[in-house]
Amino acid sequence: MKYALLNSLLGSIMLVYGIGLTGAGWLLAWLGIGFLIIGIAYARRKAAVFGKRSDGTLPLWSWAAFLPLHLYTLAVWHLIRLLSGESASDSLRGGIVIGRRVLGHELPYGIATVVDLTAEFQEPARLRSGPSYRSFPILDASVPDSDILRPFIASLPAGPLYIHCAQGHGRTALFTIALLMERHHCQTLDEAQAMILQSRPGARMNRQQQAFLQGLYGGDRPEKPAPERTSQGPDDLTTNTSINFPKLWSHVITACPPHDSFSIHGPDHWRRVERNALILATRTGAKIHVVRLFALFHDCCRLHDGWDPGHGKEGAKYAASLRGQMFHLSDEDFDLLSYACEWHTEGKHNADPTIGTCWDADRLDLGRAGMIPNPAYMSTEFGREIADHGVIHPWVHLAESHQNEPGTAP
Ligand SMILES: [Fe+2]
Ligand SMILES: [Fe+2]
């Protein structure tokens, strides 16, 4: 109601003052009428007030009726874009990127679907015509209708998403938290909010938006699909003595779409990295549970198969979010896992047997990308020996004893 009153008050003042002025006073009055209509729209929570179409365009009547307001909104947006030091977009895990409205060339690479939450802007043409575009207009600083929010989220296709409002703050945070909750990426609102603020500190919601989410997800969670029972091992994922790898794999694969079977960095690659690491560990003395966790997490947050800086760090962050819930790991071992994930692309060599084994295991699978592993990039003696030989097959039997263990990834 605050925005309804503010817009109405501002509109009334502009209208009265504009009428009283000579010359360009009509322009002020025109702008005032626009604000007055927006005030009414806020009171009735009508995001359709600007007539935004599902293809992201604004109709001619909207430009005619609200021209001064549209020009004012665009000018303020560009001013903030140019003067604000905030990044245009920030990655969450699981192929979700959030941010402000972007110009065509600013769209992060590899995005499959753009979700536009603005009601007041026409979407730039390149975004509308490029990846699959979905419009879900919400008034600035306001909330959507919960009856249409959930079906809309359910209708979103798999694949990397770019979710944006005008500045990538309130509306973006609200929608993304709802998405994280609906897709069971997070268990609580606090967890989802913390995840968003960690990536984009400016993505804060107002009280109305927080109350809206509290009403939707503050009580019981939406019904969660029954987890797959793939394990022959212990049911308790949080046991201190073992990690239930099949359940962990199942959880990560579900939570980190998209990784289709054709992806060179998808689960097939993770499994080969795990096998390679188990082979290497027979001689390097690496910590088995750490290298297996590395295999699972190091590429799970990749957005695509191209240049994706930061995906290792995102993988480490994701592993941290599951630590204590899905698996336990000592601080010392988690530091190894975290470092190995974060630096697996940029790191050259590492003398630590566990980190070296992780990186060698990953680099020995370069054949999938048509590259022959180079011994010069190996950290361990055994890695160099295998790379020198050209193929890993003579040593595959070394991993079999581990891969037959209960709790080993399928
Ligand atoms: Fe990677
Ligand atoms: Fe990898």
40 and 94 share one domain = no
**pTM, entire model:** 0.57
Helix (H, G, I), strand (E, B) or coil at 235: coil
For 139-189, list the strands marked E by DSSP.
161-164
352 and 256 share one domain = yes
**In whole angstroms, how far apart are CA 227 and each of 182, 324, 329?**
15, 18, 23
Strands 96-99 and 89-91: antiparallel
Q: How far is the CA of 306 from the centre of ligand 1 (A)?
A: 10
Ligand minimally distant from the alpha carbon of residue 264:
2
Is 371 domain-assigned?
yes
Helix (H, G, I), strand (E, B) or coil at 45: coil
Q: How far is the CA of 357 from the centre of ligand 2 (A)?
A: 13
Q: How far is the CA of 179 from the centre of ligand 1 (A)?
A: 26
List, as one string, the DSSP characters of 256-317.
S----TT-TTSHHHHHHHHHHHHHHHHHH---HHHHHHHHHHTTTT-SSSS--TTHHHHHHH
Give the H or E element holding residue 319. Answer: helix 311-322
Q: How far is the CA of 233 from the centre of ligand 1 (A)?
A: 29
Is 267 domain-assigned?
yes
Residues 82-130: pLDDT tens digits? 999 899 998 886 668 899 999 988 888 667 789 999 999 999 998 888 7
Q: How many separate domains does the chain show?
A: 3
Give the H or E element holding residue 199. Answer: helix 189-199
Alpha carbon distance 96, 100 (integer Å) = 14
251 and 394 share one domain = yes
pLDDT at residue 236 greater than cutoff 50 = no
Q: How far is the CA of 302 from the centre of ligand 2 (A)?
A: 9
Is 74 domain-assigned?
no
294 and 344 share one domain = yes
Q: Which of 83, 166, 85, 60 is nearest to 123 (CA)?
A: 166
- The predicted model gives 161-170 an average pLDDT of 95
- The residues, ordered by sequence, that sit 6+ positions from 29 with a Cβ below 8 Å of its Cβ are 14, 15, 18, 19
Q: How far is the CA of 246 from the centre of ligand 2 (A)?
A: 19
Domain boundary among 198, 217, 236: 217
**In whole angstroms, how far apart are CA 128 and each of 170, 311, 366?**
22, 27, 36
149 and 96 share one domain = yes
Range of the domain at 4: 1-44
Is 238 domain-assigned?
no
Residues 410/249, Cβ–Cβ less than 8 Å: yes
Ligand minimally distant from the alpha carbon of residue 344:
1
Is 12 domain-assigned?
yes
Rg value, the chain, Cα: 26
Ligand minimally distant from the alpha carbon of residue 302:
1
Is 378 domain-assigned?
yes
Ligand minimally distant from the alpha carbon of residue 269:
2
351 and 259 share one domain = yes
Helix (H, G, I), strand (E, B) or coil at 148: helix
275 and 139 share one domain = no
Is 410 domain-assigned?
no
Is 377 domain-assigned?
yes
325 and 253 share one domain = yes
250 and 384 share one domain = yes
293 and 164 share one domain = no
Q: How far is the CA of 171 from the centre of ligand 1 (A)?
A: 32
Output the domain CATH number for residue 366: 1.10.3210.10
Q: How far is the CA of 340 from the centre of ligand 2 (A)?
A: 11
212 and 135 share one domain = yes
Q: How far is the CA of 80 from the centre of ligand 1 (A)?
A: 35
Q: How far is the CA of 390 from the centre of ligand 1 (A)?
A: 21
Residues 362-394: pLDDT tens digits? 999 977 666 778 899 999 999 999 999 888 888
Task: Tell me how far apart the terminal alpha carbons of the chain are, to the nearest angstrom.
Answer: 55
Q: How far is CA 187 from the centre of its chain?
A: 16
- pLDDT, position 363: 94
- pLDDT, position 113: 87
349 and 387 share one domain = yes
Q: How far is the CA of 345 from the centre of ligand 2 (A)?
A: 8
Domain boundary among 9, 25, 44: 44
Please give the structure tokens belonging to residue 100.
């402000």
Residue 257 — pLDDT band, cuts 50, 70, 90? Answer: low
Output the domain CATH number for residue 158: 3.90.190.10
207-217 vs 189-199: helix crossing angle, rounded to 10: 140
Domain boundary among 217, 234, 260: 217
> Per DSSP, what are the bridge partners of residue 163?
98, 115
